[in-house]
Structure 1
Amino acid sequence: MTKLPEASWTKRADLAQLVAALEPGNARYVGGAVRDTLLGKDIHDIDIATSLLPADVIDRCKEAGIRTVPTGIDHGTVTAILPDGPVEITTLRRDVSTDGRRATVSFATEWKEDASRRDFTINALYAHPETLEISDYFGGVEDLENGRVRFIGDARERIREDHLRILRYFRFQTRFGDAWDEEATVASSELASTLKGLSRERVGWELQNLLGLPDPSPTVFKMRELGVMQEVLPECGTREAEKLAELVRQEREYGIAPDAMRRLAAIIPPVPSLAQAVSARLRLSRAQRERLSCVAERDASDSQQPLALAYYEGVECARDRLLLTRADPGALEDWEAPQLPLKGGEIVERGVGKGPQVARILQMVERRWVDEGFPDRTRVLALLDEELP
C-alpha cells in the first residue's frame, strides 16, 4: 500500500492535537495536501475529511480548546483555527441533487462514497493521519505518477454535476498533466456551452487561477481548439493565444514571475473599452479593471521612455506594457518614482496668482522634468523660469 511521505506539515503539533480531538479513526487527510506531498510540492492548505457530523466536530474541538468557525456548515465544513494555520474539516458527503451550478448534499459514512463525488482521481486520495497509509479508490496514485488528469467515473456526468469542472480540468491538466485525456477533452468540448450558466465571478476566478500557472499557453490553444475558450472569453482569438505564448517567453527571458492579470491582458485585443467590458463581465476588482485598461493602452512607443511611462502609469502597468510590446523592462527593476522637487506655493511666490495658472505651470514643468529624465532641483528651477509668464 502506498504511504504518504513524511513532510513538515504531517509533524505539526497543533495538527496532531486536532487529530487526537477527532480521533484518528474518524479523520483522513484528503485532496491537495496528499496529492502535492506525493509530488514533493509545497503545501499551502490542509483539508481533513471526517466521518463525524459537524456538530460533533465543533464539540470535540471545543473540548480540546480548539476554536472553530462554521465556514461552510451547510455543506458540512468547519474550519479549525490552529497556531500554524487553519485546517478545513468536512464531513463525508454524497450528492442528493445537482444542477451544474450548486449541489444539495447529505452526509455519508463511507470514505469511498465521499471519494466518488469528487472531480478527479488525483484529488480523491485519503491519508490516515497516524499511519500515513493512502486510500486510493480510483487509481489516483497511478494517474499522478503518469501525469494523467482523469475524471472519476464518467466525465460527462461529473461535468453535468458542476459545469465549472470543465475549467478546473484545464487548470489541473496544466499543473499536473503530461498528455490530454481523450474522454475529458471530448466531454469538455461537448458540454462547453454549459459554462454560460455559471456566475461570472466563478469563471473569472478559474481563468485567473489558470493564467497564473507557469505556462498556460498550450492549454489556451487547446481550449480554443475545443470551443471552450469561446464560451468564457470570446475575445481570445488565435492571435491573442499566440500573444500569450510570446509573453510567457518574455517573462522567462527577463526573469519576471507569472501574473494572471498580465496574461489576461495578453489574450484580449488591446482596446481600452474592450478591457472594461471584459473586466465588468468577469466581475474583476476595481484595481484589476484599472490595470487591465491601462495595459490596453499599450503601443510601440512605450519602449522609448520606460521610466516616463512608469512615472505616469505606475511600475506594474509599465512593466506589463513593455513585456507585451516585446520591450526590455529591465530599467524598471528596483525603480521608485521620484517626487517633483517643486511645490505650487513656490510658483505663487514668483508672482503668479493662485488658481488654474499655477496648476498649468506646475504641470508643464513636471512634463519637461520627466522628459529630461528627472533632473535635480537646480534644473527644475531653471525650467520654472522658462515657463513663468
Structure 2
Amino acid sequence: MKLDPAAWFDRPGIRHLLDTLDATDGACRFVGGAVRDLALGSDISDLDLSTRFVPTEVIDRLTAAGIKSVPTGLAHGTITAITSGTVVEVTTLRADLATDGRRATVAFTDDWAADASRRDFTINALYADPLTGEVSDPAGQGLADLDARRVRFIGDPLVRIAEDHLRILRFFRFYARFGQGAPDAPALAACTARANDLMALSRERIAYELMNLLGLPDPVSTLAIMIDHGIFRPVLPEITDSAPLAALILAERQANIPADSLRRLAALLPRDPLIAEKIASRLKMSLKDRKRLAQAVDPTNFGSPQAHAYRLGNTSAVDRLLIDARPADAASIATWELPRLPLGGGALIARGVPQGPLVAKTLQAIEQAWLDAGFPTGDLFDAIVAEAIARILGSA
C-alpha cells in the first residue's frame, strides 16, 4: 500500500524535520494513527515518527537544525519536535525489557519489527516511508486487519494486557472507533478474564480512556458489550445499563448539540448527585467537572427550560434536559443569554424593607416569582416586587 505523502508535507516545517532525521536514508518513518487514519481515508491529527536515532542524537540534530525539542518522555525515547508550529512526537525504536502492567522499561533498538511487536494492536503497528508513502507492516497482519476493520492485539492478548492493563480499555475504544462486526473473540475473552487488572491503574488513566470512548460518535453497542462482560465492574460498578446513553445520544442529535463525554458519563450513572460526586472524586476529576456531573444526574425538575438554565447555567441545564429526553428544550436554551434579576437589596431597603434577614428573604421571593412568570420586566416586574414586599412585611 502507498499513501499520499502530501498529507504530512502540507504541514509547515515537516520537510525540514524529515531532512534533519535523515528520511532519505530510511532513518525515520511515520507510525500509528498518522498511517492508520490516512489509510482509512480519514483526516489525521497527531503526527508520530519512529526513528533509529537514540534520543540524545535526536535532540542534537533538532537543536542543530533550529527545531525546538521538548523531552516529553525521554526515558521511553520520546522527544516532541516543534517545527514552524507543527508538533511531531519523535520516538526512538524500542524493545521492552520489563513491564509491570502500568509502565515499561525499554531498550532502544534499530529493529522495526521489534518496535512493532511491542505495540498494542495490529492496526497501530503500521509504518510509512515519509517520502514515498510506502506502508510497511512488520507485524504482518495490520493491513489485512485494517481492511477488515478488525481490532486485534499483536500476539497473545493476555501478554499484551499483562504489559499494560490500560490496553483493556483501549481495545474497546479502538473497537468502537474502527471495528466492524463482532469484536475479536480472543481479545474479548482476554479483556473479560483480566478486567480486575484495571484496579491496579490510576483512576486518571481510566478516566482518560473512558472519556475518549464516550466522546466517539456512537459508543453504545461497545458499552453494552463492556457491561455484559463485566469490564466496568471492578472500577465503575455503577455503570450497568447502556440504554440511557442511547437515549441521550438520540436527544443530542435531535437537538443538534455536539457530543459531550462528561454528559454521556452522567447518563450512565444513577440519578443521585451524591453517587455522581463519589464517582467523579474516584476518577480524580476537577471540582468543576464534579459539580457538573452531580448537577446532570440530579432529578430535580425546575419546570421551564429557562428556569433550568437560570438555576444551573446553560451547560448544566442542557445536560439535564438532554438526559431527561427534552431535546427541543435543551436546544432552546443552549445559547440563551441568562437574565439578571433587575433589583438589589439596596432598592428593597429604599422601599421600606428593614435591613437584615428580611432583605434576603424578600429577594428570594421576588426572584422565584419573577422566574415563575418567565422573567418579565417593566410594570409586571414592579407588580411582582410590590406583592412580595407586602407579603413578606405583612408576615413579619
Cα distance in 2 for residues equivalent to 1:163 and 1:212: 21
Equivalent residue for 1:22?
A: 21
SS at match of 2:120: coil
Equivalent residue for 1:128?
A: 129
- Trace 1:109-148 onto structure 2 (pairs within 5 A): 109-138=110-139, 139-148=141-150
**Residue 332 in 1 paired to residue 333 in 2?**
yes
Equivalent residue for 1:222?
A: 225
Cα distance in 1 for residues equivalent to 2:217 and 2:99: 33
Match of 2:151 among 149, 152, 156: 149
**Residue 307 in 1 paired to residue 306 in 2?**
yes
- Trace 1:252-267 onto structure 2 (pairs within 5 A): 252-267=253-268
Equivalent residue for 1:203?
A: 206
TM-score by length of 2: 0.94
Cα distance in 2 for residues equivalent to 1:3 and 1:29: 13
Letter in 2 for 1:209: N
- State the 1:353 CA deviation: 3.5
- Trace 1:21-170 onto structure 2 (pairs within 5 A): 21-24=20-23, 25-138=26-139, 139-170=141-172
Letter in 2 for 1:314: G
Equivalent residues of 1:341, 1:377 under 8 A apart: no
Equivalent residues of 1:7, 1:37 under 8 A apart: no
Cα distance in 1 for residues equivalent to 2:275 and 2:123: 38
SS at match of 2:71: strand
- State the 1:43 CA deviation: 1.7
The percent identity for this pair of structures is 48
Deviations 1:112-131 (A, max 9, x none): 11111000011111111111
- State the 1:59 CA deviation: 0.8
Equivalent residues of 2:5, 2:131 under 8 A apart: no
Letter in 2 for 1:189: T
- State the 1:7 CA deviation: 4.1
Equivalent residue for 1:4?
A: 3
Unpaired runs of 5+ in structure 2?
none
Equivalent residues of 2:97, 2:107 under 8 A apart: yes
- State the 1:60 CA deviation: 0.7
- State the 1:361 CA deviation: 1.6
Cα distance in 2 for residues equivalent to 1:287 and 1:145: 42
Equivalent residues of 2:13, 2:86 under 8 A apart: no
Deviations 1:132-190 (A, max 9, x none): 11111222122111110011111111111001100000000000000210110011111
SS at match of 1:90: strand
Cα distance in 2 for residues equivalent to 1:387 and 1:325: 33
Shifted more, 244-253 versus 286-295: the winner is: 244-253
Equivalent residues of 2:11, 2:86 under 8 A apart: no
TM-score by length of 1: 0.95
SS at match of 2:218: coil
Cα distance in 1 for residues equivalent to 2:22 and 2:82: 18
- State the 1:351 CA deviation: 3.0
Deviations 1:42-97 (A, max 9, x none): 22211111110111111111111111111111111111122333111111111000
- State the 1:241 CA deviation: 1.5
Equivalent residue for 1:362?
A: 363
- State the 1:10 CA deviation: 3.0
SS at match of 1:290: helix
Equivalent residues of 1:342, 1:380 under 8 A apart: no
Cα distance in 1 for residues equivalent to 2:7 and 2:116: 26
Number of matched pairs? 384
Deviations 1:332-372 (A, max 9, x none): 14211111111222122223343332222222211111111
Cα distance in 2 for residues equivalent to 1:372 and 1:7: 60
**Residue 321 in 1 paired to residue 323 in 2?**
no
Equivalent residues of 1:119, 1:165 under 8 A apart: yes
Letter in 2 for 1:177: G
Deviations 1:363-382 (A, max 9, x none): 22111111111111432222
- State the 1:111 CA deviation: 1.0
Letter in 2 for 1:12: R
Cα distance in 1 for residues equivalent to 2:20 and 2:8: 18
Equivalent residue for 1:176?
A: 178
